[in-house]
Amino acid sequence: MTDQTASNSLSVAGQRLIARFPFVPAAIILVVLLALNGWFEPRSLSFGALRGLVSTYLALMLLAMAQSYVVFASDLDLSVGAIVSLVNVVMVTVMQSLGGDPLMVLFACVVGIAVGVACGLFNGFVVAALRLQAIVATFATSIFFTGIALYVLPVAGAPVPEAFWLTYASSYFGIPFVFYVLALVLVILTLLARSGLVIRILTVGDDAMGAFHSGLPVTAIRIKGYALCGLFAALAAMCLTGDTASGDPLVGGQMTLNSVAAVVLGGTALSGGKGSVLGAVIGALIIGLINSLVFFVGTPSEWQNLVQGLAILGALMIGVLVSRRAQK
């Protein structure tokens, strides 16, 4: 009797917790994956290794954030990877032509952000104003953006000024630069989560017709969601450029679907209307840790892709099951 009451109150608490913080299941999976990685390869939890993990996946975390703001409005952006490539080659080309002076590097970053936002606005215009299907329209713009990237830099190459990538790899006061960026990202996403814009995006995603009837400018809000997505894709491109120190017109292409997967793993529904950006950031790390774990447990090479896919499916199912139980 008491047991049941206890478990009931526990499930009520869990229910409240997950309703308030939809990323909780993802966070639990993250902790379990970290522990498993550490179990199979103790050195993977060393300070240097964790720093490597963040350096590697910061770009995907930001790209998952970018994708979240679009998914919240029940849209999708299949061009985020192409935007990353385009911003990457534009920044590198600007840096090359202006030299490695820190001020010029900063200028290149501003240009990169402008390009990202412009791409986002273009996507938003095509999807929300012209009312084309988001999946197909952004698939088409991804080919378009890749085309521009290939025009800007036809073949991978073009080293980045050391001032840029050495900063990305450096430490200040004993703490790696990437950890500061991660902290800043977390602050920004917390502030944004409470902003009017994100709440309006969620409202549109929940019930676009209802939002329209209540007087919200639905089209403008969806376009702003895409612009926000372009902005964070540009920031992702900066991190990728920091970790790769070069321009490559095809570098981001394969990151697109990973960004969608990260969003879903983080507990956000593709149907829009609710979700958590922090969850998407955690989802990006989950993808990375699964890839490493598959290797550390010693999976034979011919099975690695299969096991990776199954593990991501598994993580997805655990997340869904936990959320559902909590909602009962």
Partner 1 sequence: MKHRLTAVAAAATFIVAGATGAFAQSYKIGLSNGWIGSEWRTQMIEEAEAAAAAWKERGVDVEVVVQSANVDVPGQIAHVRNFMNQGVDAIIINPNSPTAFDPVFRQAAAQGILVISTDAEVSSSDAIYVGIDQTDWAAKSAQWLADTLGGEGKVVAINGVAGHPANQMRVEGYTSVFDNYDGIEVLNEVNANWDQAQGQQAMQNLLATYPDIDGVWVQDGMAAGAWRAIMDADKTADIAATGEIRKDFLDIWAENDLTSGASVNPPGVMASALNVAVFMLEGRELKEPADAGQYGNALYLPIPFIDGSNFEEVHEAVEGKPGYYSYTSALSIDDAEALFN
Q: Does 246 bind partner 1 (CB under 8 A)?
A: yes
C-beta of 21 vs 165, nearer to partner 1: 165
C-beta of 91 vs 294, nearer to partner 1: 294
Among 292, 311, 312, 326, binds partner 1 (CB under 8 A): 292
- Cβ 271 to partner 1 shortest distance, Å: 26
Q: Does 252 bind partner 1 (CB under 8 A)?
A: yes
Sole window of 104-112, 191-199, 226-234, 293-301 interacting with partner 1 (rule: CB under 8 A): 293-301
Q: Does 5 bind partner 1 (CB under 8 A)?
A: no
Q: Does 223 bind partner 1 (CB under 8 A)?
A: no
Q: Does 15 bind partner 1 (CB under 8 A)?
A: no
- C-beta of residue 266 within 8 angstroms of C-beta of residue 195: no
Task: Annotate 269-305 with three-state secondary structure.
Answer: CCCCCCCCHHHHHHHHHHHHHHHHHHHHCCCCHHHHH
**What are 196's strand-pairing partners?**
none
- Cβ 143 to partner 1 shortest distance, Å: 12
Q: Does 291 bind partner 1 (CB under 8 A)?
A: yes
Residue type, 282: I
Q: Does 170 bind partner 1 (CB under 8 A)?
A: no
Q: Does 96 bind partner 1 (CB under 8 A)?
A: no
- C-beta of residue 168 within 8 angstroms of C-beta of residue 178: yes
- Cβ 297 to partner 1 shortest distance, Å: 12
Q: What string marks each residue from 49 to 78 as x (binds partner 1 by CB under 8 A) or -?
A: x--xx--xx-xx------------------
Q: Does 258 bind partner 1 (CB under 8 A)?
A: yes
Q: What string marks each residue from 123 to 152 as x (binds partner 1 by CB under 8 A) or -?
A: ---------------------------x--
Cα–Cα dist 276/193, whole Å: 8
Sole window of 19-27, 224-232, 252-260, 269-277 interacting with partner 1 (rule: CB under 8 A): 252-260
Among 9, 12, 110, 154, binds partner 1 (CB under 8 A): 154
Binding site for partner 1 (CB under 8 A): 41, 43-44, 46, 49, 52-53, 56-57, 59-60, 81, 150, 154-159, 165, 168-169, 240, 243-255, 258, 288, 291-292, 294-296, 300-302, 304-305, 308
